[in-house]
Structures are given as structure tokens and as C-alpha cells.
Structure 1
Amino acid sequence: MINFAQFGNDLYTGRRSIEFIKRQKTWYAISGVLVVLALVGIFVKGLNFGIEFSGGSEFRVQGVSNSQGYEQKAQTAVNEAGIGGNVVATIVGQDTVRVQTEAASEKTNEAKTALAEAFGVPAGQVSSSLIGPSWGETVSQQAIRGLIVFLILVTLVMALYFRTWKMAVAGLVALLHDLVITVGIYALFGFEITPSSMIGFLTILGYSLYDTVVVFDKVRENTAEAFRTKRMTYSAAANLAVNQTLVRSINTTVVALLPIAAILVVGFTALGPGTLLDLALALFIGIGVGAYSSIFIATPLLVDLRRNEPAVKALDKYVARHAKEAAVAGVDTREPAIVGADGAAVVEGQQAVSPAEAGYRPVHKYAQAGPRNQPKRAPKSKR
């Protein structure tokens, strides 16, 4: 049985390590396939925009006691009223049928009467509303404008905070990666895009950015220590940072997804289509994709962007040369130093050393643990 607490502690101290950086081509390939499928869904199959964006008429039939075959009943009733085009019928709540059609301003009364007869309810229990496409177009323009402003501000803030534009670029690519895949999933499965979905798309960008910044902050800390001590390469320090934040990212993602999953279950089984369900669906897909990109895409991409920098290349050469010299001298640089039982610190003499640093301290492979054998001093009377 796996001890997850010990496993997480081993990842943090460096006793165990998952090679996120060395396998970056695998992660890139997986993301490449997902992005291509998403683009095929968006540009070939197309997006299923709700009535708020395309415009049309919406009828709600309340008090329906028998909803069996409701789609066919709605289609037949609308056609009898002289309204053509595609008809979308869904169950809302326990006894309400929502019917969406093309704009039918002149034949609204005929459609209400036909729907009332088809579902066996009084005409007064059928409501109608006409939605013009201009409202959805305005919402789309505002959303796109907000997205552009958000991405520009994110790039500037990350570049200033991390003092390198390459971290900002890596974070920006991860955000776009999340957005494209999320929208592509909507296109491939035919999920309806509503204003609530648009809000969800923008919300997941904030979540993904937060998770990426947490990982990058640890990357900055570890790589700064690597440049100072010259005990690790830049990629090794970055890989250690991802391992150290892995458990936290998983826990945060699971905690965020559980209540959203509960909303989805209740929405699909009881509530039916609505604002809450649309928002929850976008968040569930986006948070999952965002967690993936923070771990598998953002940091490997950052390492690739910085790989050819003179300082990074000099550090890698120094560490490789030191490892070669240590191997010739009989020093095993891969053996981790002794880590305290709590995994919080290592004490060498009077100096406390962090587990991340201790995990990479060179230790002579012939050294034996135990007290030092030092010569005893003679008593003062015999000196």
C-alpha cells in the first residue's frame, strides 16, 4: 500500500523524482494532439452557440406531466405553427420543457397554442420570449476585449514579478493552451455556449494562472539556489520545483473539482439546463486542463526557452564537469544526504540545510555513518 504522505515528502526532499523536464517532448506531443483535435472541432464542426448569440424565440411549457417524446412533440408543434428551421427542446427542472426556435415574432401565438395542445396544458402555461442576436454579439465583443486586456496585464505582471519575459511567455502559452482545449471540447461534444459559459472560460484562466504562478515561484527559488551553489543544473532545479509542488497542485485541483462535479450531477439529473450548469461545465473542463498545463507544459517550456542562455549553459557545464571529476575521485554525487525524520531540515554541524539542497549534496560512497574517531588528548599532568 502506497503511503501518500511519505510519497509527497519524498518528492519534496528529492528522494524520489518524476522526470517532467526530460520527457517534455511526450507532454508536447499529447498537448499537440489535444490542440489539433480542439481546432478541428472549432473550425470544422463549429461551435454550438446558444440562442443568446444566434437570436431566436424561446418557449417554456410549464406543468408538463408526461415528457416522454418531448423532442418530437415540440418539433411537430412548431412546424404546424409554420416555424421552420432547427428546433432545440430540453427538460428544465421537473415539469418544464424549453423549446428554442428561429425568430417567430409573427407566429408566436400560433406556436404557443400548438405547444399547449401537444403537451396537454392550458395555453396560459406556455410563455415566450424573443431574443435578438445583437445582445449576444455585444457580449462576445466585451468578452474578447476583456480577454485581450487580461492577457496583456498578465504578461506585464508576470514579466515584472519574475524579472524575465520568458516566464511570462511560458505562462501565456499555458493559458492559451487551456482556453483552446476547453473551447475545443465544447465544439467536439456539441455543448451549448451561453453567456455563462463565456464567464466560465474567463474564470478558468484565472485559476490556471494561479496554479502556474505557484509552480514558477518555486522554480525561481530553486534555480536561484542552483546558480548560487552550482550543485544542480537549471533543468534539474526546475524539475525538483515541479515535484515539490505536485502534491499541492493535485490536492488543490481535486478540492476545486469535487463541488463542481456535485453541481454537474445535480444539474444533469434534476435541474436541467441553466446558468449554474453552464458555468459548472466550463469550470470543470477548464480546471482539469489548467492543472495539466501548469505541471506538464509551463515549466518544461520555460526550461526550453532558457536552455541556450549563457548563464544556464555555463551552469550546466560546471555541474557536468564537477560530476565527472567527482566520479573519478570516487565521490557519488547522486546519493542523497541524510534527511531528518520530519523531512523539514537537515543539520550539518551548526548549519541548517534545506531538504532540497541536502538531497543533492555530494557524499563519498565509501563514507560510513557514525561518530568520528579522533585522537585522545593526554592528561595535563603528562603533557
Structure 2
Amino acid sequence: MSRLGAVGHKLYTGEVSLNFVGRRKLWYLISAVVLVIAIGAVLIRGLAFSIEFRGGVDFQAPVASGSAQNAIPGVRTAVVDTGVLGRAEPIVTSIGANQVRVETPPLSTDNIAKARTAIAKQLKVGEGQIDYSSIGPTWGAQITDKALLSLGVFLVLVMGVIWLYFREWRMSVSGLVALLHDVAITVGIYALVGFDVTPATIIGVLTILGYSLYDTVVVFDKVRENTRSISSGSRWTYSEAANLAVNQTLVRSINTSIIALLPVAGILFVGAGLLGAGTLKDLSLALFIGIAVGTYSSIFIATPLLCDLKEREPAMRALSRRVEQRRAGAAAKSAASGSAGPAAVSGTPGGAEGGEPAASGEDQGANGTRQSVPATSRAQGRPAGRPQSTSSRSAGRSQPQRKPRSTRRPKGHGR
């Protein structure tokens, strides 16, 4: 932990810096490839919407003997043999170790009774032990419309809140693109693995969007702090200051994500995998994917995209030119001092020794170079430019003047 803390301190102070913003084209390419795969999975495989969205009849029955997983083929065959489904196929899954779930298209009351009797006979249980619920297609369509509406309202509110907080529309656009990126990848993974899209999935998606937004806002807040009044200076470009902000919040983002992923992974792999809880599986998968993808987008997508939009401003372009000119001048001075050698003292540009920064206006002479250092000062073992010290007794007292030898009186004369 101490080593991780030391790394975090170096990232925060800029002693160690990972160039996230400078390599943004690589991150864009990686995200583009993943998005193409995700969208292709949705178009080719499609999403497996649960019965709440498509409508139908949901049967749930206990298994008298054996495991529910072994009873699935027999239950499927028994329902198909009734002929109530026509050419449709029932969806039979297990709930836990001793319960079976059968989903069928919408059925009439008589057909529901026939299917119920067939399931009870196959599982050797009473018909009264089989619970069922009928969901009409209209109700499923309403659920779909409300889910899409809630997602749209959430995204609009996100843009408004970010703009009001930062007073910067580019941050709103970057945050929105990152959220859409997270939604697309999450939906694509659902299509790839074939998990049902249930109302719990929608809740999970909205939850991870809020988490991703929180992570992005934390990074943006540090970007704003680092870039405040940056246009009046010439030390950093906007992208460099934003990259420092990402590095400063990197350890916090990773730690927060790991802490959030651990319990979600426990729900997904232990609760849903071993216990077979369907609702937990739908919710935990959305949370697990969303937290991981949201952390990625807040670091690799949102801030680099913000820099792309911000660097288009005339003020930021002018800042980049000033920074380049300042660094080019410093490099030229450093090269000139290196070619002159250590013997060249007079007129040495600032930064000649040990890669020092260029001299400020106070350290430069009228010709724009650093004032020469007298060699006698160095020979006397004192720092250059420091005056000779005088004793307190002689301070302020006029010293006697020695006469030239030609005007001195010879000894022995004049008496």
C-alpha cells in the first residue's frame, strides 16, 4: 500500500506522468473497434428481451425429485406436445436448484390450463403448486417506452447539470459521449452473452450511468482547477494540464472502481452463478460491465475528447503557439550553451548550466543574455556578484590614500 501511495503521489505532483491525452487516437481506435463489435452483436444476434417486454405467460413450478437442470428437457417436450404454442418454442430455465420457469407467448385461458396440466404431470406435482402470470403485449410495450423515456430524460439532465456546474458546453458534450459509449458497450455485451434484458437490467444501466457520470465529473473538476487562467500563461498547453488532472485522479478512480466491483462480482458469480437468482444476475451483470466501462471512458474517452474540442478555440491555439515558442527558445539557448563549452562565461544564455530554466527578465542584461560573471569572484572562492565584506571598525571610515613612489620623500631628508 505504501508503494501504491508513493506512485499516487508521483502521479499527483507530475513527477511521473502517463500520457493519456497525447495517445487519444489509440484510445479512440480501441473504443471504435469495441463499439463495432457491440453494435454488430445487437444487429446480428439481437437482444433477448424478457417476458416483461414481449408479453406472454410465465409458469413457475417446483421439481419433486432430481435437479431442476435435469428436468428442463422433459418440461420443454411436454409443453410442445400440447400443441398450444403452434410453431413457437417455450423458454424453459431453472430457478435455483429445485424450481423450473417456463415462458410462452400469450395464450388463451384454455391453453394456459392445458400447459399447466402438462407441466404438473411431467414434474409429478399438483396443478395447484404451479404459479403462473399472464402479461399482455400492451403492458410490455409500455415498459419499453418508459425505459427509453427514462434514459432520454437522464441524458438530457446530465448535459444540463454538467453545463450549469462547469459553465462549459464542451464538458457536457464529452460527458454525454462517454455515457453513450458506456450504454452501447453494455448493450452489446448483453447481446453477445445472451442474457435477458429485464426491468432489472434497465435499473442497472441507469445506475452505472450515474456512477460513470460521477467519475467523469471528478476528473473534469480537476481539469477545471488545473486550467484556471491557463490562457494567460505559457507553461502548459490545455491538453497537458488536462492530462495532469487525469493522472492526479487516476489512483482514486482505480481504487473506487475496484471497491465497487468486488461486491458486484460476488453477486454476479456467486449469487447468480451458484444460486441461480435471475433478477440478481440481470442487475449484477449490468453493474459489473457498466462500472468497468465507465471507469475506462472517464479516463480514456471523456477528457481526451474534451481536449480535442477545447484545442479548437483560438485562445487555446494561441496558448499552444506560445508554449512551443517558449520551449523552442529554451532549447536553442540550451544548445548554444552546450556548444560554447564551460569556458564561455560572458553572454551565456539562461539555462546554460545543468539544464536550468531560461533566465528571467531580472537576470538578463540589455542584450537579452545573462550578465557575465567576473572570474575574480570565482577565484576568491565567493559566489559571483557578492561584495567584499568590510569590518565593522572600518565601515564608514575614510581610508588613507597612499602616495605614488615618485612623490614620496626619501628617508633621512627633510629634517
TM-score (norm 2): 0.79
Tell me if 1:48 matches 2:48: yes
Distance 1:7 1:147, change over 3 A: same
Deviates more, 1:194-203 or 1:271-280: 271-280
**2:97 aligned to which of 94, 98, 108:** 94
- Given that 2:333 and 2:352 are in contact with CA atoms closer than 8 Å, whether structure 1 keeps it comes out as no
- The answer on whether the counterparts of 2:80 and 2:89 sit within 8 Å (CA) in structure 1 is no
CA contact (8 A) 2:53 2:137 kept: yes
Q: Does 1:310 align with 2:314?
A: yes
Whole-angstrom CA distance in 1 between matches of 2:71 and 2:18: 52
User: What does residue 124 of structure 2 align with?
Assistant: 120
Distance in 2, Cα, partners of 1:98 & 1:379: 103
1:365 counterpart = 2:369: no
- Which residue in the other structure is 2:371 paired with? none
* One-letter identity of the residue aligned with 1:269: G
Aligned equivalents of 1:36, 1:173: Cα separation in 2? 16
- The offset of 1:120, in angstroms, is 2.6
How do 1:156-171 residues align onto structure 2 when only pairs under 5 Å count?
156-171=160-175
Aligned to 1:322: 326
Instruction: Rate the CA distance shift 1:172–1:269 in 2: closer, same or farther, 3 A.
Output: closer
The offset of 1:228, in angstroms, is: 4.3
Q: Per-residue deviation at 1:375? A: 5.2
How does 1:245-264 map onto structure 2 within 5 Å? 245-264=249-268
Q: In structure 2, the residue corresponding to 1:145 is in which secondary structure?
A: helix
User: Cα–Cα, structure 1 residues 104 and 279, in superposed 2: closer, same or farther, change >3 Å?
Assistant: same
Corresponding residue of 2:146: 142
Which of these residues, 272, 278, 284, is aligned with residue 280 of structure 1? Answer: 284
* Most deviating of 218-227 and 205-214: 218-227
Paired residue for 1:180, among 175, 178, 184? 184
Contact 2:211 2:291 in 1 (8 A): yes
The aligned residue for residue 393 of structure 2 is: 381
Match of 2:239 in 1: 235
Partner of 1:79: 80
What does the per-residue CA deviation read over 1:256-294, in whole Å, with 9 as the maximum and x for residues that have no partner? 111111111233333314323211111111111111100
Name the aligned partner's letter for residue 124 of structure 2.
G
**1:347 corresponds to:** none
Relative contact order higher in (CA < 8 Å, ≥ 6 apart) = 1
For 2:354, give the aligned amino acid. K
Against the structure 1 CA distance between its residues 110 and 99, is the aligned structure 2 distance closer, same or farther, given a 3 Å change threshold? same
1 CA distance for matches of 2:154 and 2:209? 9
Structure showing greater Rg: 2
- Once residues 278 and 41 of structure 2 are traced to their aligned partners in structure 1, the CA distance between those partners, rounded to angstroms, is 24
Q: Secondary structure of 2:15's match?
A: coil
How many angstroms apart in 2 are the aligned matches of 1:39 and 1:17? Answer: 34
Residues 307-334 of structure 1, C-alpha deviation per residue, up to 9 Å, x if partnerless?
Answer: 2211111111111111111122239xxx
Secondary structure of 1:330's counterpart equals: helix
Per the alignment, in what secondary structure is the counterpart of residue 275 of structure 1?
Answer: helix
SS in 2 for 1:381: coil
CA shift for structure 1 position 366: 5.2
Taking structure 1 as the reference length, what is the TM-score of the superposition? 0.86
Contact 1:208 1:291 survives alignment (8 Å): yes
- Pair 1:91–1:375, CA change in 2 (3 A): farther
Structure 1 counterpart of 2:39, one-letter code: L
- Aligned counterpart, 1:221: 225
Percent of aligned positions that are identical: 52
* 1:192 shift after superposition: 0.4
Q: Which runs of 4+ in 1 moved over 4 A?
A: 372-376
- Shift of the 258–11 alpha-carbon distance from structure 1 to 2, 3 Å rule, reads same
Paired AA for residue 209 in structure 2: L
Listed one character per residue, the Cα deviations across residues 214-253 of structure 1 (whole Å, up to 9, x for unaligned) are: 1111111112253344211111111111111111111111
Kept after mapping to 2: 8 A contact 1:63/1:125: no
SS of the aligned residue for 1:26 comes to: helix
Q: Do structure 1's residue 20 and structure 2's residue 13 form an aligned pair? A: no
The structure-2 alpha-carbon separation of the partners of 1:139 and 1:377, relative to structure 1 and needing over 3 Å to count, comes to farther
Residue 18 of structure 1 aligns to a residue whose secondary structure is: coil
Partner letter of residue 71 of structure 2?
A: Y
Alpha-carbon distance in structure 2 between the residues aligned to 1:18 and 1:205: 26
Q: Deviations over 1:119-162 (max 9, x none)?
A: 23233322221111222211221122222222222112212222
Tell me how far apart the structure 2 counterparts of residues 218 and 115 of structure 1 sit (CA, whole Å). Answer: 60
Q: Tell me the CA shift for residue 10 of structure 1.
A: 1.1
Question: Structure 1's 364 and 113: CA in aligned 2 closer, same or farther, altered over 3 A?
Answer: farther
Task: Return 5+ residue gaps in structure 1 as ranges.
Answer: 332-361
Q: Over aligned residues, Cα RMSD in angstroms?
A: 2.2
Q: Distance in 2 between matches of 1:94 and 1:125?
A: 17
**Partner letter of residue 209 of structure 1?**
L
| Distance change >3 Å, CA 69–CA 93, structure 1 → 2 | closer
